[in-house]
Amino acid sequence: MKNQVQLITYVDRMGGGDIASLRQWLKGPMQGVFGGVHLLPFFYPIDGADAGFDPIDHTQVDPRLGDWSDILALSQDTEVMADVIVNHVSADSPQFLDYSERGDASPYAGMFLTLDAVFPDGANERSLLKVYRPRPGLPLHCVQLKNGQKKILWTTFTPKQLDIDVQHPEGRAYLDSILQRFAASGIRMVRLDAAGYAIKKAGDNCFMMPETFDFIAEFAGRAKALGIEVLVEIHSYFQRQIEIARQVDWVYDFALPPLALHAFFFKTAEPLKRWIAQRPCNALTVLDTHDGIGIIDIGADGADRVGSPGLVPPAELDALVERIHSLSQGQSRQATGAAASNLDLYQVNCTFYDALGRDDCRYLLARALQFFLPGVPQVYYVGLLAGHNDMELLSRTGVGRDINRHRYDAAEVELALRRPVVQSLVQLIRLRNAHPAFTGTFELLPSSAQALHMRWRTGIHEARLSVDFETLAHELFFSGNGEAGVEGAGRLIRYPQ
C-alpha cells in the first residue's frame, strides 16, 4: 500500500454519484491529493438494510454506480480498496432464496449458520450470554422458510444480514468468488468487514478467538495469492488490537479518534503519548469513518473478568462522551445508543468536526496529529469537507450512523472546497504525501504532560509537529528550500505550493 493519504468514501455520496464521476473528480480538482481510495460498498444494492453492507450480490456493481469496467479504470489511476463482507449476506441473496425454497435440500443449506449448527448439543442461557455482542439482544432470528421449515438463524447485526459459515464449502466458494472478481478488476487491497465475528464456537464468546485468527490468516493467504493485501477491521480492547496487528497486514488505529478528543477536552497528552509508545505501526490512522467514534477502543476490557484497565479512566471516558454531546449541541445524543436504530454499544455517532465544536484550529491540529503518526492515513469524505451532522438524514432514516453520511451534490462539494479549513486540510494532505521526511524515522520527543512533540527525519529532511493541548500553541515545521513554518495558537500555517 502506498504511503500516502487515502480517501474513504461512498461512491454515490460525493458529488457526481457514480464511479466515473468520482474518477474524474480525483483526476481533476483532487489531482495528487490522494494516494488511494477506499470505496465503501458499491455492490448490489447500495441501499439495503445497512447502506450496502448487506449485499444481495457481492460480485455485482450496483448499476446505478457503473460496472466493473469503471472500477478497473479507476484502479489504473489510483490504488483501490474494497470491502469483503465476510460475516454475512443479505436475506434477499440468491443463495438464501434457494435455501428458503428448498430447505435442507438446497446446496446452500450449510452456508447459513443456524443455532443448531453452532450448538449441536443445545444452548443454555449461560452459553448464549457468553457470546460477545456489538449490539443489544441475542444474535439469533427465528424465520420460516418458504418451504415451511422453521429455522433459528445466526444474525450478528440485523435480521436482514444472515451470518454464513465461512468454513463450509459453499461459504468458502462464495468468498473466493468475491476475491477473484476483485482481482480481475484491479483491486489490490481489501478490508475484511466484521471479520472478528466470522467464526462461531459453542462455549466461547465467538469474537476474535484463536480460530478467528486462523480464518483471517487463511483468508489473507488466499487474497495474497491473487495480489491483494488485507486490512482487518476490529473494534476491541486496545491490547487485543496490538495482538491482532502482529498477525495481519494492516489494522485500523481506532484508539486515535477518542484519544485525540480526550487530549483537547482534558488538556493533557499523557494517554495519547502512552498509546503512541505502544501502538502498532502497520495501522491505517483515522479520525472518522462511515461508522461512529469508537469508545470501546480506549476503555477497559469488558470481556476480562479481572478488569484490565483502559487507556483512560472510566470517569473520563464518560465525560468525553458527554463533552461530544455538548459540543455537538446535543445532536450526537440523538444519534447514539437507544436514541436511534442500528444500535452500536461502542460508538458515538457524530462528525469529527462537530465533535470538536466546529473549531477549525483543533480540527486541523487533530488532522496534523493523524498524519504524523506512523502508518497510512485515511480521510473520510465528510471529514475531508469538515462536514456537519446531517440531522435531516438522521430524522428521515432513524439510523444513528447516517448523521455522518451526508449526501453531497457537486455544488456542495465545490462550495466546501473553498472553505479555509478545507483548503488548509488539503494542504496538510499534500505535505504528508510529498515530504521526504515521512519515509524516514519517527520519534516521539520528550515533552510536558500537556504537550506532544513528534519528529520525522531522513537524511537532510525533517518534519516536526508540536502541540500544547492546554494553550493550543503549536509549531509545524518542515524542511525544504530553506523554508520553515511556525505559528502560534489559533491557526495552522499555509504551505507554499
Helix ranges (H only) for 328-373 are 331-334, 352-355, 360-372
Query: Is position 214 annotated as part of the catalytic site?
Result: no
Q: Which residues contact residue 473 at a Cβ distance below 8 angstroms, ignoring those fewer than 6 apart?
A: 467, 488, 489
Which residue in the list 54, 62, 233, 354 is annotated as catalytic? Answer: 233
Helix ranges (H only) for 185-313 are 210-224, 238-245, 256-266, 270-276
Helix ranges (H only) for 83-198 are 94-102, 115-118, 125-129, 169-184
CA atoms of 35 and 37, how far apart (whole Å): 7
Quick one: which H or E segment has residue 191?
strand 189-193
Nearest residue to 253 (alpha-carbon basis) of 229, 278, 219? 278
CA atoms of 217 and 204, how far apart (whole Å): 20
On the CB side of 158, CA atoms within 13 Å amount to: 17
Which residue in the list 12, 62, 193, 468 is annotated as catalytic? Answer: 193
Nearest residue to 344 (alpha-carbon basis) of 138, 144, 133? 133
Nearest residue to 373 (alpha-carbon basis) of 492, 454, 254, 490? 454
Q: Which residues contact residue 93 at a Cβ distance below 8 angstroms, ignoring those fewer than 6 apart?
A: 55, 56, 57, 162
Other Cβ atoms less than 10 A from the Cβ of 482: the count is 5
CA atoms of 380 and 9, how far apart (whole Å): 6
Beta partners for residue 465, in sequence order: 454, 476
CA atoms of 161 and 155, how far apart (whole Å): 6
CA atoms of 352 and 383, how far apart (whole Å): 7
Q: How many residues does the chain have?
A: 497
Identify whether the C-beta of residue 437 lies closer than 8 Å to the C-beta of residue 451. no
Query: Is position 54 annotated as part of the catalytic site?
Result: no
Catalytic residues: 193, 233
